[in-house]
């Protein structure tokens, strides 16, 4: 009955019977039991609501609005986004702040815990009300929420023992790889590029390459959470690095200037005067058909085609969806990559497209995962505790 109520909206006992195949007496008993501990809420009947004219009005129910909250966190290398939401469909608070990538693991952990507390206070909630937390990090994560050691300490910094730090905050705490959560978002959000698709890769490609992989409708994980980890691209000729498209655009601009292919005083050349080339500004020039920007986009398209060719050969996806903030302006690079991609693999080339979910794709996946945990684990546990305490 709880599974049915989760997605039913307002319903009657007759609705529940039809959906669950329970007898009328069993359905009513289950409804009354859940209502008695405020897991379900009885609404005014149809006559009181002004939409019923004659006969005995049916009792109407809905999932209680006071079950608690879920939290989704995108803990990137240079940013932290915290979302407090209800278990169904409302976002209560969303904050995104910059992080210093040089912060120690202890500093990052303290910042995250402080931001969680602030967001809860703004939402008018408390730790006691948290049903589930999901945190996305830029590291492989095993099923216990632990990241393996990294040669340079990067994974330990981006996942500073968060599963342990948050363990007593909620009945369910999950720490996941950020690309995996991007794949969740692309497959579950109504705007996602993988709705209805059973085989796809969500490719986080702005700062570093990392893929969330879905095959036969199942998220792939691996013993250490390393499926889709981008270090493989350090060894691919024509890619040479796990650093993402933002760095590739910058490097190709400076290479072209050094080769005399781009004038230093032109629109593209002036972008290289900054400490770091602004990828959005460069891609905006490419979208406006600036020939020098299109030259850069075509060369980065070659790099992306090799990346997608490796993913296509390894996982045979129907789609590869480029995700993250860079996706909002990446179309000139995708257009170049699409022309090159078929030659990069023997299998049919996957469809290559830009995500519509923008910079919040990991946050959306984290909230969706926390809501699923609330549905499948935390709320049933809450119902059991309340029934046991009657």
Domain containing 221 — which CATH number?
3.30.420.40
What is the predicted pLDDT for the residue at 53? Answer: 52
Does residue 191 lie in a domain region?
no
Q: Which of 63, 81, 110 is the last residue of a domain?
A: 63
- The verdict on 301 and 339 lying in the same domain is yes
Q: Regarding beta strands 319-323 and 200-204, do their DSSP bridges make them parallel or antiparallel, or are they unpaired? A: parallel
- The verdict on 220 and 135 lying in the same domain is no
Residues in the chain with pLDDT values less than 70: 46-56
CB 226 within 8 A of CB 142: no
- The verdict on 28 and 153 lying in the same domain is no
Q: Which residue has the tokens 């006969």?
A: 55
DSSP class of 375:
I
Does residue 183 lie in a domain region?
no
| Cα 122 from chain centroid (whole Å) | 23
What is the predicted pLDDT for the residue at 240? Answer: 79
Cα separation, 163 vs 225, whole angstroms: 14
Q: What is the pLDDT of residues 138-162, one digit of tens each?
A: 999 999 999 999 988 899 999 999 9
- The verdict on 254 and 226 lying in the same domain is yes
What is the predicted pLDDT for the residue at 206? Answer: 85
- For residue 15, what is the domain's CATH number? 1.10.10
Does residue 324 lie in a domain region?
yes
Q: Which residue has the tokens 């609330």?
A: 374
What is the predicted pLDDT for the residue at 238? Answer: 80
- The verdict on 338 and 290 lying in the same domain is yes
Domain that holds residue 13: 2-63
- The verdict on 259 and 174 lying in the same domain is no
Does residue 186 lie in a domain region?
no
Q: What is the pLDDT of residues 174-220, one digit of tens each?
A: 999 999 999 999 999 999 999 999 999 999 998 889 999 999 999 99
What is the predicted pLDDT for the residue at 56? Answer: 63
What is the predicted pLDDT for the residue at 55? Answer: 54
- The verdict on 237 and 342 lying in the same domain is yes
Residue count of the chain, please give it: 390
Number of domains in the chain: 3
Cα separation, 185 vs 242, whole angstroms: 23
Helices 279-287 and 331-340: angle between axes, nearest 10 degrees: 70
Does residue 211 lie in a domain region?
yes
Does residue 214 lie in a domain region?
yes
- The verdict on 326 and 365 lying in the same domain is no
- The verdict on 220 and 289 lying in the same domain is yes
Cα separation, 59 vs 49, whole angstroms: 11
Q: Which residues contact 88 (CB under 8 A, 6 or more apart)?
A: 6, 63, 371
Q: Regarding beta strands 319-323 and 79-85, do their DSSP bridges make them parallel or antiparallel, or are they unpaired? A: unpaired
CB 202 within 8 A of CB 352: no
The whole-model pTM stands at: 0.92
Which residues on neighbouring strands pair with residue 211, listed in sequence order?
203
- The verdict on 312 and 170 lying in the same domain is no
- The verdict on 240 and 314 lying in the same domain is yes
Q: Which residues contact 311 (CB under 8 A, 6 or more apart)?
A: 201, 203, 211, 213, 228, 317, 320, 350
Q: Which of 38, 63, 88 is the last residue of a domain?
A: 63
Does residue 232 lie in a domain region?
yes
Q: Which residue has the tokens 């990067």?
A: 154
What is the predicted pLDDT for the residue at 46? Answer: 57
CB 296 within 8 A of CB 252: yes
Q: Which residue has the tokens 């570093």?
A: 208
CB 58 within 8 A of CB 76: no
Query: What's the N-to-C CA distance of the chain in angstroms?
Result: 20
- The verdict on 315 and 240 lying in the same domain is yes
Q: What is the pLDDT of residues 59-85, one digit of tens each?
A: 899 999 889 999 999 999 999 999 999
Does residue 129 lie in a domain region?
yes
């Amino acid at each position: 009955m709880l599974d049915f109520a989760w997605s039913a909206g307002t319903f009657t006992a007759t609705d529940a019977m039809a959906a669950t195949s329970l007898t009328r007496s069993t359905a009513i008993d289950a409804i009354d039991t859940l209502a008695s501990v405020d897991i379900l809420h009885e609404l005014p009947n149809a006559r009181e609501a002004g939409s019923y004219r004659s006969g005995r009005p049916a009792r109407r129910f809905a999932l209680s609005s006071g079950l608690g909250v879920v939290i989704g966190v995108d803990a990137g290398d240079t940013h932290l986004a915290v979302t407090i939401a209800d278990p169904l469909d409302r976002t209560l608070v969303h904050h995104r702040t910059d992080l210093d990538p040089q912060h120690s693991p202890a500093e990052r952990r303290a910042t995250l815990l402080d931001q969680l507390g602030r967001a809860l206070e703004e939402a008018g909630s408390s730790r006691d009300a948290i049903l589930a937390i999901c945190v996305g990090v830029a590291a492989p994560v095993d099923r216990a929420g632990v990241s393996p050691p990294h040669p340079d300490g990067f994974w330990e910094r981006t996942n500073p023992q968060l599963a342990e730090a948050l363990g007593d905050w909620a009945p369910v705490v999950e720490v996941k790889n950020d690309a995996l959560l991007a794949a969740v978002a692309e497959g579950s959000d109504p705007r996602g590029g993988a709705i209805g698709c059973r085989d796809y890769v969500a490719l986080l490609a702005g700062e570093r390459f990392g893929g969330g992989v879905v095959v036969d409708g199942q998220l792939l994980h691996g013993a250490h959470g390393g499926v889709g980890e981008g270090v493989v691209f350090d060894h691919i000729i024509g890619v040479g690095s796990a650093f993402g498209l933002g760095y590739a655009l910058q490097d190709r601009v400076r290479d072209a200037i050094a080769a005399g292919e781009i004038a230093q005083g032109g629109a593209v050349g002036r972008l290289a005067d900054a400490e770091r080339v602004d990828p959005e500004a460069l891609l905006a020039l490419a979208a406006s058909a600036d020939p020098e920007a299109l030259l850069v986009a075509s060369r980065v398209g070659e790099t992306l085609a090799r990346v997608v060719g490796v993913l296509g050969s390894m996982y045979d996806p129907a789609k590869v969806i480029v995700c993250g903030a860079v996706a909002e302006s990446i179309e000139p690079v995708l257009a170049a990559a699409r022309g090159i991609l078929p030659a990069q693999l023997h299998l049919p080339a996957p469809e290559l497209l830009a995500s519509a979910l923008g910079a919040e794709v990991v946050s959306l996946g984290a909230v969706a995962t926390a809501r699923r945990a609330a549905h499948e684990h935390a709320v049933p546990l809450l119902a059991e505790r309340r029934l046991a305490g009657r």
